[in-house]
Amino acid sequence: MFHTGLRSGTAVRTEEQADEAELYFQRCRWCRNTTFQRLLCPTCGSTDLVPELSEGEGVISVRRGTTAAEADLWPVHMAEGFVVRCRVDGPLHAVRPGVRVKLAGAGSSGRRPVVRLCEEVPLDGWI
> Which of 50, 17, 21 is closest to 114 using CA atoms?
21
User: With contact defined as beta carbons under 8 Å apart, do 103 and 115 qualify?
Assistant: yes
Q: Does 62 reside within a domain? A: yes
Q: Does 108 reside within a domain? A: yes
> Which of 24, 8, 15 is closest to 104 using CA atoms?
15
Containing structural domain, residue 50: 2-117
Q: Does 58 reside within a domain? A: yes
Q: Does 127 reside within a domain? A: no
**Residue 70 pLDDT grade (very low, low, confident, very high; cuts 50, 70, 90):** confident
- CATH of residue 54: 2.40.50.140
**Residue 126 pLDDT grade (very low, low, confident, very high; cuts 50, 70, 90):** low
Q: Does 126 reside within a domain? A: no
Q: Does 94 reside within a domain? A: yes
**Residue 1 pLDDT grade (very low, low, confident, very high; cuts 50, 70, 90):** very low
The whole-angstrom separation of Cα 85 and Cα 72 is: 10
Q: Does 83 reside within a domain? A: yes
> Which of 115, 112, 114, 110 is closest to 99 using CA atoms?
115
Q: Does 22 reside within a domain? A: yes
7 Cα distance to chain centroid: 21
> Which of 108, 75, 80, 100 is closest to 24 using CA atoms?
80
In the chain, the number of structural domains is 1
Q: Percent of the chain scored above 90 by pLDDT?
A: 53
Rounded to two decimals, what is the model's pTM? 0.73
